[in-house]
A = this chain, B = another copy of it.
Amino acid sequence: MSEAIRFLPPRPAVLSRRAAIIADLTDLLPADCLVHEPRELVPFETDAFISYRRLPLAVVLPRTTAQVAAVMRYCHRYGIPVVPRGAGTSLSGGAIPQEDAVVLGLSRMSRVLEVDYANRTAIVQAGVTNLSISETVGVDGFFYAPDPSSQLACTIGGNIGMNSGGAHCLKYGVTTNNLLGVKMVLVDGTVIDLGGKHLDAAGYDLLGLVCGSEGQLGIVTEATVRLIAKPEGARPVLFGFETSEAAGACVTDIIGAGIIPVAIEFMDKPAIEICEAFAQAGYPLDVGALLIVEVEGSEAEMDTMLAGIVEIARRHDVKTVRECQSATEAALIWKGRKSAFGATGRIADYICMDGTVPLGKLSYVLNKTSEIIERYGLRVANVFHAGDGNMHPLILFNANDPEDAAKAEEAGNEILKLCVDAGGCLTGEHGVGIEKRDLMRHQYSEAELAQQMAVRSAFDEDWILNPSKVFPLEGRA
């Protein structure tokens, strides 16, 4: 992949005008909204896909939609690439800049503008963190459903760019299912509104199109999101199985029976050990794979759903069924799961894949993944949103050994191709970014890719918005 990860060559007309561009941006924005000293640009040179980095030309940190519009109007006029950035937590390199780009950071637009319970909506600025929405409305018994593991840091703007998910999306859907409207600055600085506090849209669903478009169709500055009432109660339950295959088959049968709990999370033995060592969550260590199944509602509702799930789990020779007994225990169980990536980072370097597969193929893909990893002589920890078929193999390697790193990348590519070949998809919630750009040809035919690129051009004719991402660099029109 290293070879494929190269960036587009910088636009000479932009690089050569660096000083003038910075002077122009200084005129456009308050002094504290512009960063251009090389030393100060370093925090913006990469995101959570840390393998690759580039210092941008400058960083702007606007406070208002009008300032975003002014920057876009300017950059559009002079053909200057713009890379939008939320909190920089992208795992696919979605926020990695390039030398000729202005990074447009939304972190200062972090206010909750309105909470409207009658319509179960909140209007927030794009730089608001995911968790702070739920924190704002939690006191009134509501929450915002999508819950990426990075929710403490990641922003709603970034969530919209990547159509982010999370453990609780099995029941409540991912970002696109919880987004009702956006205010967006088009590439030329025009401000448009898409959607709102109402069902449907007249004409095309541009809101749905924008969600997951990785910052290439415009800059979202405000979002109207759906609020959901907190359930009466919620209870994570641990199901331990002999093998990953049995756990995977159990998930397939739960969903196949039409039972939709709030979450079904999967951990294989390496993941259990890594997370337990970090969080002391109380996970059973004598099993080959673990499911965390969360049910919610009244006690009676939880009991009913759980009974159906236990019955199915028994058919797959479940070894351990442990209902958590307290809120503290529940919080620990989720802490262990949500810190899986960080905990893995303590013991090794890793890359995190993000393929999705049809539920019926879960066990098959888990088995094949093991085969691939063994063939490369690597190790893997699987910890993922099983109910959604959204797999996250964490491939462990030594970043100081270039050969090991190359093997990890190759194995990762094989696993993603495996997901696609099984009827799945390259990405569930992390986006394509730089990471999976060249695998798009494995997912799509030339006509399908061409149609996506034509849509992109209908928003951004000169491809200045986040230009190195999503589409293979070769073969662009």
Q: Would you call A454 an interface residue if the criterion is a C-beta within 8 Å of the partner chain's C-beta atoms?
A: yes
Q: Is the CB of B443 within 8 A of A202?
A: yes
A252 to B301, CA, bound (A): 26
Q: Which of A39-47, A278-286, A398-406, A421-429 contacts B (4 or more CB under 8 A)?
A: A421-429
> Looking across the interface, which residue of chain B has its beta carbon closest to that of A191?
B447
Q: Which of B230, B424, B452 lies in contact with A203, CB distance below 8 A?
A: B452
Q: Which of A3-11, A78-86, A114-122, A313-321 contacts B (4 or more CB under 8 A)?
A: A114-122
Q: Which of A56-64, A208-216, A268-276, A326-334 contacts B (4 or more CB under 8 A)?
A: A208-216
Q: Would you call A186 an interface residue if the criterion is a C-beta within 8 Å of the partner chain's C-beta atoms?
A: yes
> Looking across the interface, which residue of chain B has its beta carbon closest to that of A470?
B203
Q: Would you call A19 an interface residue if the criterion is a C-beta within 8 Å of the partner chain's C-beta atoms?
A: no
Q: Which of A27-35, A236-244, A351-359, A368-376 contacts B (4 or more CB under 8 A)?
A: A351-359
Q: Would you call A350 an interface residue if the criterion is a C-beta within 8 Å of the partner chain's C-beta atoms?
A: no
Q: Is the CB of B206 within 8 A of A212?
A: no
A230 CB contacts on chain B under 8 angstroms: 258
Within 164-183 of A, Cβ neighbours of B (below 8 Å) are at: 165, 173-174, 176-177
Knowing A300-B301, A454-B458, A458-B454 touch, does A423 contact B196 (C-beta < 8 A)? yes
**What string of 1s and 0s marks CB contacts (under 8 Å) between A249-268 and chain B?**
00011011111000000000
Q: Is the CB of B259 within 8 A of A229?
A: yes
**What string of 1s and 0s marks CB contacts (under 8 Å) between A451-477 and chain B?**
110111111000000000011000000
Q: Would you call A198 an interface residue if the criterion is a C-beta within 8 Å of the partner chain's C-beta atoms?
A: yes
Q: Is the CB of A358 within 8 A of B204?
A: no
Q: Would you call A393 an interface residue if the criterion is a C-beta within 8 Å of the partner chain's C-beta atoms?
A: no
A455 CB contacts on chain B under 8 angstroms: 204, 206, 209, 455, 458-459
Q: Which of B199, B426, B440 lies in contact with A165, CB distance below 8 A?
A: B199
Q: Would you call A228 an interface residue if the criterion is a C-beta within 8 Å of the partner chain's C-beta atoms?
A: yes
Q: Is the CB of B197 within 8 A of A423?
A: yes
A203 CB contacts on chain B under 8 angstroms: 432, 440, 443-444, 449, 452, 470-471
Q: Is the CB of B204 within 8 A of A213?
A: yes
Q: Which of B186, B211, B424, B451 lies in contact with A192, CB distance below 8 A?
A: B451
Copies of this protein in the complex: 2
Q: Is the CB of A424 within 8 A of B198?
A: yes
Q: Is the CB of B205 within 8 A of A209?
A: yes
Q: Would you call A348 an interface residue if the criterion is a C-beta within 8 Å of the partner chain's C-beta atoms?
A: no
A443 CB contacts on chain B under 8 angstroms: 202-203
A229 CB contacts on chain B under 8 angstroms: 257-259
A425 CB contacts on chain B under 8 angstroms: 196, 198-202
Number of interface residues of A (CB under 8 A): 88
Q: Would you call A141 an interface residue if the criterion is a C-beta within 8 Å of the partner chain's C-beta atoms?
A: yes
Q: Would you call A360 an interface residue if the criterion is a C-beta within 8 Å of the partner chain's C-beta atoms?
A: yes
Q: Would you call A436 an interface residue if the criterion is a C-beta within 8 Å of the partner chain's C-beta atoms?
A: yes
Q: Would you call A221 an interface residue if the criterion is a C-beta within 8 Å of the partner chain's C-beta atoms?
A: no
> Looking across the interface, which residue of chain B has its beta carbon closest to that of A212?
B205
Q: Which of B121, B198, B301, B429 lies in contact with A297, CB distance below 8 A?
A: B301
**What string of 1s and 0s marks CB contacts (under 8 Å) between A374-412 and chain B?**
000000000000001110000000000000000000000
Knowing A301-B300, A447-B190 touch, does A204 contact B452 (C-beta < 8 A)? yes
Q: Would you call A16 an interface residue if the criterion is a C-beta within 8 Å of the partner chain's C-beta atoms?
A: no
> Looking across the interface, which residue of chain B has its beta carbon closest to that of A190?
B447
A116 to B423, CA, bound (A): 13
Q: Would you call A445 an interface residue if the criterion is a C-beta within 8 Å of the partner chain's C-beta atoms?
A: yes
Q: Would you call A135 an interface residue if the criterion is a C-beta within 8 Å of the partner chain's C-beta atoms?
A: no
What 20 additional pairs, Cβ within 8 angstroms, besides A199-B356, A298-B304, A454-B458? A116-B360, A118-B252, A119-B358, A120-B256, A120-B359, A163-B205, A186-B451, A197-B358, A199-B428, A200-B390, A200-B429, A203-B432, A203-B449, A204-B209, A229-B257, A297-B301, A300-B300, A300-B304, A451-B458, A451-B459
Q: Report, nearest first, the 9 A-B pairs whose CB atoms are least far apart.
A: A229-B258, A208-B208, A118-B360, A197-B358, A458-B458, A202-B426, A454-B458, A198-B356, A198-B424
Which A residues are closer than 8 A to B by beta carbons? 116-121, 141-142, 163, 165, 173-174, 176-177, 186, 190-194, 196-206, 208-209, 211-213, 217, 227-230, 252-253, 255-259, 297-298, 300-301, 304, 356-360, 388-390, 423-429, 432, 436, 439-440, 443-445, 447-449, 451-452, 454-459, 470-471
